[in-house]
Each structure stands twice: as C-alpha cells, then as structure tokens.
Structure 1
Amino acid sequence: MRALNRSWRYLMMLSAFAGMLGASAAAELNPAAVTYKLPDQIPWGPVDARGAQNAVVVGDPAKPGFYMVYTKWTKGNHFSRPHFHPNDRYIVVLQGTWYVGSGPKFDPEHGTVAMPAGSFVTHYGKQVHWDGAKNEDAVLLIMGDGPATATAAEEK
C-alpha cells in the first residue's frame, strides 16, 4: 500500500512538473493571424507640457481612419484646456482615476467627474470637454476616427 501511495505521488509530481513546462513554453503564433506587443514593446512618447504621454497602438490619429492611442495623464493636477474634436472618441479608463469636465469654463476643482478604472466615456464630436488627472496617474485607451485634431474653446 505504501509503495502504491509513493508511486502515485511521484506520478502526480511528474505530471504537475510536465504541465508547468508546457505552460511556460511560448507558442509560435502565425503572424498572418495574430500580432501583438507586450507592454515593454509599446513605444511611449515623452510627457508633454500638459502632463500627458501618448503611445499610438493602431493607425495614425493625425490621418483619416481608425486609430487607438494609450494616453497617460500624470498625477499632479494635469489637465487639457477646454477643446473639441471633429469626430466622436471612445475612451476606456485602464488604470487610475481620470477626471472629465465639459463646457468652455475650465474648473478642475468643481467642474469634473471622477472616472475610475473600468469606466467607459464617449466624447462626442464638436462638443467642448476637458480632462486630466489629479492625485494619481490615469491610463486611458482612446479610440476614434481621425484626424483627431483639437480646437480650443475656452471661455475667456
């Protein structure tokens, strides 16, 4: 009975070890079917004067057509000023809390709504909005049809 029990444990350990090896081996994917970039392979641009950093992952937001961009708003009350885009934009908050305001009056302290990770936001074309981060970084995935130009619309 002991020998059978030992043999069974030995077999289970070998089976578990073989399973771990199989799971850790990377599969070869057909590049005609699937392409991917791991997080450390995505090229982020520098942080701009507003405190935002971008990484284009699909398309080109400066040209006509579909695009997807990661945007990181860095903590420290970094905001865009009131503006609008010609086309609708669809945004998913991936990390942190993003703050969204609308209208031409810029008031980050009283005029924003907090969007925690997992939130989905639509910025409608030709409608004035502004956004950013307060006390933590916020990482967004922004999707839309280009060109993604911005027209200033701040109340003076």
Structure 2
Amino acid sequence: MLKRLLLLLPLLAGPVQAAEPDPRVLSFRLPEQIPWGPVTANGNQQSVLVGDPAKPGFYAVMVRWLPGHMSRPHFHANDRFITVLSGTWWMGTGPRFDPGSTLAVPAGGFVTHYGHGIHYDGAKDEPTVLLIVGEGPGTSTPAESK
C-alpha cells in the first residue's frame, strides 16, 4: 500500500492546470473584463451583462453608483429585481425627493421595484454596485413633485 502511495506522490505534487470551460456550455467574465460605460450625469456607471435594457426581453445590468449621487424620483414601466453586490444602497419612495428619509440596503440585500412605483435611490458615503435584472424595455420616467 505504501509503495502505491509513493508512486502516486509525483503525480499529486505536479503542477495543476485549470481547464478552459467549453464555450458551448458557459461563458464568463472576470471582474477586470466587465466593460463599464461612462459616468452619467446621475453619478453612476452601467455594464450590460445580458440582453439590451432598451429593447423588449430579459436583461441583466450592473450599476455602479459613485458616493454622493442619487437619482431623482422616477418610475420604470416594468418590475426590476435588484441585488446589492457591494456598498450600501439608499432608497426612498414617492414623488418628493428627500434623501434624509432613505432606507439603507447593505450588500447582500435584495429589492423589487414594482412597475410604475415612484422611487429614488443612490449611494451616500461609499461606491455601491447593484445587479439589476428585468424585462425590457427598461425605461425610466421622471416623476418628481416640485
């Protein structure tokens, strides 16, 4: 038995090479390969992962909010499902913009934005990254009361 183990030892100690997955089975991007768009006037960046949020059909995007930026009250035509990947995301509801009344959702939290529900959101003290999935088109309609 010991002799067999000694014969296997060189095989176990040799270099391990990771196999490339079959591209017909799966695709992946490492964090440094995710293409982020430019920073918008709202202070966020977007990376489209799957689909096209401007067209009908399923989409998945990541949104990175920069600290100190929030959207103004708005709504989306369709439900959206959001997971906070990093940072803290701050949310408020209703047509009156009041960042002081927002609720903090930490990394790991999950939120559903129901279609036509007026809300506003963003990051306060730290960058925040979200994963948003939904059915397009993912329109955003301003709804702020002045």
- What TM-score does the superposition give when structure 2 sets the normalisation length? 0.91
Q: 1:142 aligns with which of 119, 132, 137?
A: 132
The 2-side partners of 1:122 and 1:144 are apart by 10
Number of paired residues?
A: 143
Q: 1:140 to 1:17 in 2, by over 3 A?
A: same
More helix by share: 1
Q: Report the identity percentage.
A: 58
What residue number does 1:64 align with? 56
Q: 1:104 aligns with which of 70, 81, 95?
A: 95
The residue type paired with residue 88 of structure 1 is: D
Matched, 1:82 2:73: yes
Q: 1:17 to 1:54 in 2, by over 3 A?
A: same
What residue number does 2:145 align with? 155
Give the structure with higher Rg (CA): 1
The 2-side partners of 1:16 and 1:32 are apart by 30
The 1-side partners of 2:25 and 2:8 are apart by 36
1:17 to partner: Cα distance: 3.3
1:13 to partner: Cα distance: 7.8
1:98 to partner: Cα distance: 0.5
What residue number does 1:91 align with? 82
What residue number does 1:124 align with? 114
Gaps of 5+ in 1: 5-9
SS at match of 1:40: helix
- CA shift digits 1:21-52 (9 cap, x unpaired): 22xx2212111111111111111001111110
Q: 1:11 to 1:117 in 2, by over 3 A?
A: farther
SS at match of 2:99: coil
Q: CA RMSD in A?
A: 1.8
The residue type paired with residue 104 of structure 1 is: P
Regions of 4+ moved over 3 Å: 10-17
1:99 to partner: Cα distance: 0.3
Matched, 1:36 2:28: yes
The 2-side partners of 1:17 and 1:108 are apart by 57
